[in-house]
A and B are shown apart, each in its own frame.
Chain A
Amino acid sequence: MTNARLSKKIPPTFSLDVEFELATGVTALYGRKESGRTLILDLLAGFATPTAGRILVDDAILFDRAAGVNVPARLRRCGYIFQRDALFPHMTVRQNLEFAAGGWPRLERHRRVAETLDRLELAEAADLKPREAAPEVRLRAAAARALIGEPKLLLIDDCGMEEALLAQIRGMLKAPILLVTGDLDLCCTAASQLLVLDAGRIVRRGAPLEVLDQPDSVEVARLLGIANLFQGTVAALDPGRNTSRLEFEHFSLTGPYIRGHFRGDRVWVAVGADRLRIHPGEAAAGANCVAAPLERAAERSRHVRLEFAYGITAEITREEFARQKDNKSWQVEFPPAALRIL
């Protein structure tokens, strides 16, 4: 079992207070830069000391304030991939790995280094100094260096980790991996658990898709980058038909029945930009369709982001945009199932 309860106060104002359990596989830690993400990794690795708490990795106590236990960083067996790879600049990639495998007998060390270089496709870069290697090679080298000692817990800071490399790492390591990232796509594809961190607190946890689909609070929705957040009033509630009527400043929508609320209550509604549907303005107005002028269209790598009046943002495929780009006016459809009442 691997779990941690960590408290850390950093004067004058920041305080971290988190508790989480890590299962084998990838747990993603998502949050803004100053939310304490790297501090959590540093506390787990032993580079900083918690003000209070307890760290248990693979059933071994690494830190327990109450019992006065604080295992030094060099004995914790926590692999760490830093934000800026932190490869030793005066050593080649191979020497970096040899340094990490220093605890093994000579023959075993050579075997491990050769095997790790091979598995992470670093054989050709083995004799390069870090400054001579491409960024993706450096990242692979940093991963190889962290993995060679068979860590009991792997900590990965926000280093631009890619899905393919993370899959390789998962294949090589049967231990929990805590990944700090700002890439929600990576969270969804690679992580089995997502922890959303805000100002030193975990504000939401769960399976990544579940967290994204049900953000729980306005803060979490904002953190997750959900583009459409509207504050409105509950105008009607119909438990028989399982519907509600929500009125906003510029439009009104029909949503699912909202338990625990009354008419007149103020609520926040979150809708992912990719969940909205776009129709030409000339088409017959359907349910939950809002006529809104298009203010801006921004082409992205995989989709087109459309920004309408009233703060509505939608994302559609390039093909869909190509079909509709000549629309004289627009309607945005809010599917009731996509509305998340916060």
Chain B
Amino acid sequence: MTADWSALWLGLQAAALSTAIAVVLGPWLAYRWKLWAGVLLAWLPLSLSPALLFGYCLLAADFGRLTAGLVASAFSLPYMMRASAAAYGLLDPEYFNAARGLGASEWRIFRRIAGPLALWPILAAAAFAFASVTTDCAVALMLARALRTGGRLPGAALAATGALSLAIHSLGTRLERGPAEP
């Protein structure tokens, strides 16, 4: 019997799409609307766990990688915004004031100061979001299919999903520490 890798494959595609959306939008949204990101969206990643989302959607209807990616963004984007806001919070506020005093626009400050200085925590958050969405999407799909067809869970694919998640989390932890000091 050949292993069914389609669930993991869909999980990876959904994670790639949702992480890309989160990385492109999250850090800027968090920079521009720190308070909004912090307060209004704080509950989203916690309450809208991707497992819950996928479980509900999969039981309700089948859907493809685009829908999966967009659904996963509901988790990845707020997660990335929170992580970015936290990373900016660790920076010395004088950098931002210095840049403003030198005539820089907010977009330029984000692009040249906030973004580069918070790069490693943002990359780490992207890795965590990617791992989380991959795992939750793939596992939810496997469970949903097993429930529907009454078949067994694909053990090899499940184990591979776990290993992949562990590897990406480990990468995220490394990224969080930033580059080694010379």
Contact = CB atoms under 8 A, between A and B. Distances in A.
Contacts of B98: 80, 82, 86, 88, 145
Interface string A61-104: 00000000000111111111010101011100000000110110
Of the listed residues B99, B101, B113, the one surrounded by the most CB atoms of chain A closer than 10 A to its CB is: B101
B103 A77 contact: yes
B119 to A, nearest CB: 9
Given A88-B113, A90-B116, A45 B105 contact: no
Contacts of A102: 102-104, 108
B78 to A, nearest CB: 27
A47 interface: yes
A77 B100 CA distance: 10
B97 A47 contact: yes
B62 interface: no
A227 to B, nearest CB: 35
Given A47-B100, A99-B112, A88 B95 contact: yes
Contacts of B113: 88
A42 B98 CA distance: 11
A47 to B, nearest CB: 5
A281 to B, nearest CB: 55
B20 interface: no
Interface residues of A, number: 26
B105 A74 contact: yes
A336 interface: no
Contact of B104 (A45, A84, A89, A99): A99
Nearest to B112: A99
Nearest to B102: A100
B41 interface: no
A208 interface: no
Nearest to B92: A86
Contacts of A145: 98, 102
A149 B102 CA distance: 7
B97 A86 contact: yes
A79 B101 contact: yes
B102 A86 contact: no
A82 B117 contact: no
A136 B100 CA distance: 24
Contacts of A86: 92, 94-95, 97-98
Contact of B99 (A42, A76, A99): A99
Interface in B47-63: none
B74 to A, nearest CB: 33
A315 B127 CA distance: 65
A292 to B, nearest CB: 49
A73 B97 contact: yes
Nearest to A142: B98
A91 to B, nearest CB: 8
A28 to B, nearest CB: 21
Contact of B97 (A75, A80, A88, A90): A80
Contacts of A45: 97, 101
Interface string A127-164: 00000000000000000011001000000000000000
Interface in B81-117: 92, 94-95, 97-105, 108, 112-113, 116-117
Of the listed residues A73, A84, A145, A149, the one surrounded by the most CB atoms of chain B closer than 10 A to its CB is: A73
A74 B100 contact: yes
A46 interface: yes
Q: Which 5 interchain pairs have the tightest Cβ spacing?
A: A86-B94, A73-B100, A86-B98, A100-B102, A80-B101
Given A88-B99, A88-B113, 14 more contacts: A45-B97, A73-B100, A76-B101, A77-B103, A82-B94, A84-B94, A86-B92, A86-B98, A88-B98, A88-B112, A99-B99, A99-B102, A102-B108, A145-B102
19 contacts: A45-B97, A45-B101, A72-B100, A73-B97, A73-B101, A74-B103, A76-B101, A77-B103, A78-B101, A80-B97, A80-B98, A80-B101, A86-B92, A88-B112, A90-B117, A99-B102, A99-B104, A103-B103, A145-B102
